[in-house]
Structure 1
Amino acid sequence: MNTVPIIPDSAPFSAEQRAWLNGFLAGLLNRGASSGPAPTGASASPQCPLLIAFGSQSGNAESLAKRLAREATGRGFAARAAGLDSLQPADLVREQNVLLITSTWGEGDMPDNAMSFWDSINQNGSSPALTGVKYSVLALGDKNYGDTFCLAGKKIDARLAELGAIRVVERVDCDVEFDDLAKTWSTSVLAALESTATLSLQASSNPIITTEIVEESGYSKKNPFQAQLIANLELNATGSAKDTRHIAFSLAGSGLDYEVGDALGVYVKNCAEVVDSIISAHGFDPHCEVPLPDIGTASLRDAMISHYDIRHLHGITPGNPGSVADFVTNLRKLQPRLYSIASSLKAHPEEVHLCVGAVRYEVHGIVHKGVASTFLAERLPLGETTGIFFHVAKHFRLPTDRTKPVIMVGPGTGIAPFRAFLEEREATGSPGKNWLFFGDQRRATDFLYHDQIIEWVQKGVLSRLDTAFSRDQEEKVYVQTRMLTAAAEFWQWLEEGAHFYVCGDAKRMAKDVDAALHEIIQTAGGNSAEEATAYIADMKKNKRYQRDVY
């Protein structure tokens, strides 16, 4: 046999890789010179497996995981991306190399599609040891949530280590601007895994391909469309304690489209009066030039209105921040806000609608305003434009089978995606039944989209409507109360394959609705608590229980 080295010592491979390549290529050369059968072991070994698991509520973690899978494949791994709801601990043991990307939801909660996986690894004695599994975690979150920032990722990272997995790169915790940190993390983890893995001939002999983050063609978060505001209508009647607005933007000339269930990203500005009060309190010159978060400079006043997040500065006692440059350095970048879309393109071509509750409150005599909500309600004039982009929400979709029943729970501005759902179901002639639970404070002043909803009832588009106006009687009544009252029919719809959707407040409403769902499955369905939990887990796995909560 030819034993002359084919790959020289100067080649950019490890000694182990050179030895393997020399042996393999020598076998190929000898097979070509022989009329006999190919020697055993002359085929290339399999590529190194890499599982990229994601826990995703709004789609960011899923998008990053799929992007990383493409990059890893280009570098020679046999990579695949998979939702945590499709995985068991045994999958990690089998694939050995695991990268996990997860967001945190609500008050430090796991994303919906990560709950069953978390339960499977967090129950003592039920999870296999993960000895030998190499892993790293990328956690997505929002620092505004304080102690619960990236908590889901932190919990999973710690638990995998407890089960014996080997952390190849320390966990990275990302704030809302995650692209740069995610790229740094992915580069580090792939390099770490490459250093410990023996890759196939294809992976070792081909140039390493680095897939950079590819921006979407056309308009996107980094290249928003300047959309014109074409409607700003008050949805509450006189006497309401709330200020809820129907907001509509024109998409004319953008070429953009969306699906019901998606979200709209809106670029907003801070209130000029608030900015002026902060600048005055600190004694700064509003016209001095300061650096912007990304690139370039602007006057301090313009930078604070359009580019920096000042929420935690409003109402503070001025201290001694030092120079203006030091002051600005401590500010976070002003982020666009995501809103559930409240319209269907089939009903409103070249338009996108929102349902926005303006936030205003007073603390110690100081009036506070929600940055985005009051920007849309009072500071963006009709006919003016602001940057928008669409955020795909694959986790929140109508059933592809249009005959399936749909149950929707959306109190307050949570009605937004269900207005879109019902417009879509009507426009497509979907034969499936529709049931809406809507709640707010008072029927006379807070029945959002009243006329349109009642028309759907009259047309039969809405098979059933249950409302809960909490302050119309002495005893508070909420959407979950109405669910329990209708438990028997609710269970019947579930058994018919109904898809269940919830939109709105994550802190209380969504948890109370989830508790009511468990109770209905137990009482009306005759199930134990454990059976109800399994029933709901199966609903989530089959995309029959979807939430858009915030």
Structure 2
Amino acid sequence: MTKHDRKNPFLSKIKEEYCISENSGKETNHYVFDIERSGLRYKPGDSLGVFPENDPELISLTINKLGFYGNEDVEVKGVGKIELRDALKTELTIHRAGRKFVVAVVGKLPEGDEKNKLNELLEDRDKLEEYLNVRDCVDIINENPDVVFEAQEFVDTLQNITPRLYSISSSPKVHGDEVHTTIAVVRYENFERKRSGLTTGYLADRMQVKETEIPVYIQATKEFILPKDGSKDVIMVGPGTGIAPFRAFIEERERTHSTGKNWLFFGDWYEESTFFYKDEWKEFMKRGSLNKLTTAFSRDQKKKVYVQHRIEQHSKEIWKWIKKGAYFYVCGDKEYMAKDVHETLIKIVEKEGKMNREKAEEYVNKTLMKEEKRYLRDVY
């Protein structure tokens, strides 16, 4: 059987798609990918790599704005000769401009204020990131309408499309030849144009269930794994789509008859509309496969409450679990949530373990994370 990986992805179809955030103002979907006869194997904690396609409207807009026809032959690194429109469909990133494109634009501009402004941006990484974060190539050409590119010249400024990784939310022991994912659709508006995330928009708007072939592969994890000893307790912190791997963890722990206790912390905006997999958690609790479920819904009351606040409220019990050998997992937002949870965990160790700050940091950062590998994170 052919081995499928990032270089040779499997063409999967989505068997099922449904929204798990109805009436919330958010768009979070559950997707079931069919991997039957693919030879793909995965475990809880792994991710699914998904190769997207660019929006046909954006492709046409880009081609027209740059004065191309779309049938020009171009050379794409790692692909070879291909028609421009096809290259922009599956190979090259156009939903967001890159530094190389700005450098090329600057090289074509006459001396003056606009050239100086872009040169200043190129020298400041943070400001350049801010500038590029809200612009694609069309936006930049709109701001610099006299700049002209040849097709190959334009293609040479673009980056190849990279696959997006999504935490798998299913156990293969339960779902066999399926991979489940939990994906928040990104939508926004810049310069009076509605836009979406490259992959999330592709799946939500252009993918046809049971029809569209989507290149996928498994990105295995070496670190973010369940303990080999099923008698170990686990604490899982997964707000928002960070819940995904823990659905897989609990399915796996139930199916393998693991005797360790499971404690899940989940948070989002509203209990009514963003309590992802609520009915499933209730069933797991009825069957004794989920021992504790602690939630934080930030917008259900005036004062916002997040998972780190709930963790702090249960500091004594969390410390007892940790001292007895429990594993502590965190999945989700790297920028804010994971940092806040990390700080809260240090405070719990400091308070309940009766350590000073330095010793508490050493226990969390060195003992738990590096030596015992009982504090594991999958953050993005």
- TM-score bracket for the superposition, by shorter chain length: 0.7 to 0.9
In structure 2, distance between residues paired with 1:236 and 1:374: 16
Q: Could you tell me how far apart the structure 1 residues matched to 2:352 and 2:30 are?
A: 38
Residue 321 (structure 1) shift: 3.9
1:340-419, aligned counterparts within 5 Å? 340-383=167-210, 384-419=212-247
Matched, 1:308 2:135: no
CA distance in 1, matches of 2:298, 2:326: 27
Structure 2 letter corresponding to 1:350: D
- The residue number in structure 2 matching 1:455 is 283
Name the structure 1 match of 2:31: 247
Alignment partner, residue 49 of structure 2: 265
Q: Give the TM-score, by structure 1 length.
A: 0.59
Q: C-alpha displacement at 1:287, in angstroms?
A: 2.0
Give the whole-Å Cα distance in 1 for the aligned partners of 2:272 and 2:209.
28
Question: Structure 1 residue runs of 4+, over 4 Å off?
Answer: none
- For the structure 1 residues 255 and 317, does the alpha-carbon distance in structure 2 shift closer, same or farther, using more than 3 Å as the test? closer
C-alpha separation in 2, matches of 1:547 and 1:236? 25
Contact 1:321 1:327 in 2 (8 A): no
Q: Is 1:502 aligned with 2:287?
A: no
Please give the per-residue CA displacement for 1:448-501, whole angstroms capped at 9, x wherever unaligned.
111101111222111110101100010010000100011111111111111000
The CA distance in 2 between the partners of 1:487 and 1:356, in whole Å, is 31
CA distance in 2, matches of 1:321, 1:498: 61
Cα distance between partner residues in 1 of 2:139 and 2:41: 42
Q: 1:464 is matched with which residue?
A: 292
Please report how far the alpha carbon of residue 217 of structure 1 lies from its aligned counterpart in structure 2 after TM superposition. Answer: 6.8
Contact 1:491–1:525 (8 Å) recurs in 2: yes
2:60 — aligned with what?
276
Q: 2:249 aligns with which of 414, 417, 421?
A: 421
- Aligned pair count reads 334
1:333 partner SS: coil
- Is this contact kept in 2: 1:293–1:308, CA < 8 A? no
- The percentage of aligned residue pairs carrying the same residue is 42
Q: Deviations over 1:291-320 (max 9, x none)?
A: 223133222222111100113243513141
In structure 2, runs of 5+ residues without a counterpart are 98-135
SS at match of 2:368: helix
> Which residue is 2:368 aligned to?
539
Distance of 2:330 and 2:296 partners within structure 1: 15
Distance in 1 between the 2:78 and 2:266 partners?
A: 42
* Aligned position for 1:441: 269
What is the RMSD of the two structures over their aligned residues, measured on CA atoms?
Answer: 1.4
Partner SS for 1:309: coil
- 2:108 maps to 1:285: no
- The higher relative CO (CA closer than 8 Å, separation ≥ 6) is in 2
Structure 2 CA distance, aligned partners of 1:450 and 1:321?
Answer: 54
Assess if the C-alpha contact under 8 Å between 1:395 and 1:546 holds in 2. Answer: yes
For 2:218 and 2:315, how far apart are their aligned partners in 1?
37
Partner of 1:234: 19
User: Contact 2:169–2:244 at 8 Å: present in 1 too?
Assistant: yes
Take 2:213 and 2:17, find their aligned partners in 1: how far apart are those partners?
Answer: 13
**What residue in structure 2 maps to residue 478 of structure 1?**
306
Counterpart of 1:451 in 2: which secondary structure?
helix
**Mapping of 1:484-523 within 5 angstroms?**
484-523=312-351
- The equivalent of 1:317 in structure 2 is 140
**In the aligned structure 1, how far is the partner of 2:180 from the partner of 2:39?**
17
User: In the TM superposition, what is the alpha-carbon distance from 1:412 to its structure 2 partner?
Assistant: 0.4
Describe the superposition over 1:152-194 as per-residue Cα deviations: whole angstroms up to 9, x where unpaired.
Answer: xxxxxxxxxxxxxxxxxxxxxxxxxxxxxxxxxxxxxxxxxxx
Deviations 1:210-242 (A, max 9, x none): xxxxxx9711111111112111111112x2111
Rounded Cα–Cα distance in structure 2 between residues aligned with 1:351 and 1:381: 17
Tell me if structure 2 keeps the 8 A contact 1:263–1:341. yes
Cα distance between partner residues in 2 of 1:337 and 1:273: 21
Give the structure-2-normalised TM-score.
0.85
- Confirm or deny: 8 A CA contact 2:49 2:166 kept in the other structure: yes
